[in-house]
A and B are shown apart, each in its own frame.
Chain A
Amino acid sequence: MSKAIIRVSLLSVLWIPLAFGQGESEKLLKEALGDDQVSGDWVYEDIEAGYAKARKTGKPLLVSFR
């Protein structure tokens, strides 16, 4: 893949949270990252929300960097 295509893809993926509301942006980001078929209930780009949700539900956290 050329650098130009990578840049355009990255730009489109990372612009999404800025351009849309949180709920919509998460849905679009998930699709753009190819995560729409991934198991689990995901929080995107907000570790504090993840901590809060983990404390509220009593579940452990899975934090993925990629």
Chain B
Amino acid sequence: MAAQTDVELKKLMDAFVCVRLVQMGGVDLSVFQFDPFLSWSVFLMNGDKTIYGRYGRASPKTKRSRADSNPNHTLVGLKAALRKALEFHRGYARDPATYSRILAPKTGRTPIWKTVESTPSARKYRRVGRVQDGSPKSCIHCHEVQRMAIDSFFMTKRRVRDDMLWVYPSPESLGVELSVDHCARVTAVVDQSFAAKAGLRVGDDILTLNRQPLLSIADVQWVLHQFPDPGGKLSVEVLRGGKRLELALTLPDLWRQRGDFGWRYRVAGYAAWLWSGVTLQDHPEGIRVANLSPRWFKKPNPSARRVLRPGDVITAVDGKVGMTRSLYLAHLMRDKKLGSTVTLRVLRNGRAMEVRFKIPTTQPEVQGH
């Protein structure tokens, strides 16, 4: 957040009613759905709960717990988002019927649990979501919301969905980089990527994605987060040289699984990281074991740690080859039962071998940071 010395920002902020929520208790998750790995997230919306857009994102570049040093946020970018939100606000006042229809997809599907404190996980650990009796342990932080949802899925014998693991796919997963100083301006396009095949070019301003108007990169991620796994056509409206163009991105089946969620250790991959017992990196020949005992883990799986060594390269998991670290972690989360055995084909010092470990018989402890 910037000081009052920025006159333009002050003028923009004065045009809003600003609310700061520090604790997640009581927050309506049918309205406020955002990237859980954030250090800072902003909703720009109407008093009737119509959402204009989101600002603030997480990426592998995000430094832990440091919103002011987050390379994904800039004041210039924030101001661009605020200006665009004010534009939507004026449009909504002028033509509520049209804007309601356009903005409706910015509100997500109704979640199973409307508040985080109503999840089975929160009830189990007696987390009320707000400080109670002076204990900050009762408070639930933003980054814990997704983790507790996954824990609640385990507790209620539901299968974890891909969109709970590969959450808020980044624009980079389409093969495009966007400027942090603009709403959604293209700064790079990777050859042969989905974005390149759609005809996106450097300098394009993406105005809408899947018909949703954008005011930030977070909005792009919101659209991708909502887009189904079977893929399909994703419409893109761009402003290029003063002209509006309609493009179409084609996303293949299981497009989401091409991304990486392994860096989101605090959120989606938490249980899987504990089960894997090690830290992992993608490697040209498979998945490399980077470390056995990360100090910020509480109870990494001892069975896995006994059979794996730093430097091992996992080339097959339960007979499946071509696994990335995210596919491996998802396999542990989605496909394995408590107490079951995982069989790994491993390259150790250039020698191939097979190792086995067991998934713990109890759910991982998901509380704490």
Contact = CB atoms under 8 A, between A and B. Distances in A.
Interface of A: 7, 10-11, 13-15, 18, 29, 33, 35, 37-47, 49-55, 57-66
Counting contact residues on chain B (CB < 8 A from A), the size range is 35 or more
B265 interface: no
Contact of B2 (A29, A38, A59): A38
A52 B47 CA distance: 7
A57 B27 CA distance: 23
A60 B344 CA distance: 54
B168 to A, nearest CB: 14
Contact of A38 (B4, B38, B40, B93): B4
Contact of A11 (B1, B23, B45, B134): B134
Contact of B22 (A14, A43, A51, A62): A14
Given A61-B16, A62-B85, 6 more contacts: A10-B139, A14-B136, A42-B19, A65-B38, A66-B38, A66-B41
Given A11-B134, A15-B131, A66-B40, A41 B34 contact: no
Interface centre among A14, A18, A44 (most CB of B within 10 A): A14
A14 B82 CA distance: 29
B191 interface: no
A13 B141 CA distance: 14
Could you tell me the dominant secondary structure of chain A's interface residues?
mixed
Contact of B14 (A10, A11, A40, A64): A40
B271 to A, nearest CB: 22
B11 to A, nearest CB: 9
B22 A33 contact: yes
Interface of B: 1-4, 6, 9-10, 13-23, 26-28, 32, 34, 38-49, 52, 67, 82, 85-86, 89, 93, 130-131, 134, 136, 139, 142
Contact of B21 (A18, A39, A65): A65
Contacts of B23: 14, 45
Contacts of B134: 11, 15, 18
Given A14-B139, A64-B42, A37 B15 contact: no
A5 B54 CA distance: 32
A60 B85 contact: yes
Given A7-B136, A39-B10, A65 B41 contact: yes
B53 to A, nearest CB: 11
A35 to B, nearest CB: 7
A40 to B, nearest CB: 3
